[in-house]
């Protein structure tokens, strides 16, 4: 459960990276494909080379979904319901991948924010991204 302080930190960080969000999405995907190559199986039609248009485009979609989640911190299930349905019923993505991408996104945030990525921010984003991953995986049950 996100506390009021967690929500405040998430909103503050999201504003700080507002002009870097697309880069963060792309970098998180690139990192995931490099560190967890098994995740590439869901993208057989993509050019998965770093900086490719397809990776950049999908990174924008990831960030758009996270932006929607940030705007709806009090109702993540409703905000991400359509995306959860898509991944569970159409794309059939292994829900473990949501956690892997969350970890990669945290590394990217830390790299972009530097000293502003405090232990408190890390903890808040860990809770937030875990909640997002859980919502995306809830239709699998």
Q: Which two three-digit tokens encode residue 56?
A: 């950049």
- The pLDDT tens digits for 8-32 are 999 999 999 999 999 999 999 999 9
Q: Which two three-digit tokens encode residue 125?
A: 């984003």
What ranges do the domains of the chain cover? 4-140
* Structure confidence at residue 141 (pLDDT): 63
- The pLDDT tens digits for 109-138 are 999 999 999 999 999 999 999 999 999 998
Torsion sign over Cα 59, 64, 68, 70: positive
- CB-CB contact of 26 with 59 (8 Å): yes
Q: Is 4-140 CATH 1.20.120.920?
A: no
* Structure confidence at residue 94 (pLDDT): 82
* Structure confidence at residue 89 (pLDDT): 76
The pTM score is 0.92
């Amino acid at each position: 459960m996100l506390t009021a302080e967690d929500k405040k930190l998430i909103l503050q960080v999201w504003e700080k990276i507002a002009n870097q969000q697309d880069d963060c999405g792309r970098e998180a995907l690139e990192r995931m494909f490099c560190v967890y190559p098994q995740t590439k199986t869901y993208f057989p039609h993509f050019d998965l080379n770093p900086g490719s248009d397809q990776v950049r485009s999908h990174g924008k979609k990831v960030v758009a979904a996270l932006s929607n989640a940030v705007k709806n911190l009090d109702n993540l299930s409703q905000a991400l319901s359509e995306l959860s349905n898509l991944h569970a019923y159409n794309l059939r993505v292994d829900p473990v991948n949501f956690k892997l991408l969350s970890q990669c996104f945290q590394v990217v945030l830390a790299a972009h924010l530097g000293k502003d990525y405090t232990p408190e921010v890390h903890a808040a984003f860990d809770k937030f991204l875990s909640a997002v991953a859980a919502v995306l995986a809830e239709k699998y049950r």
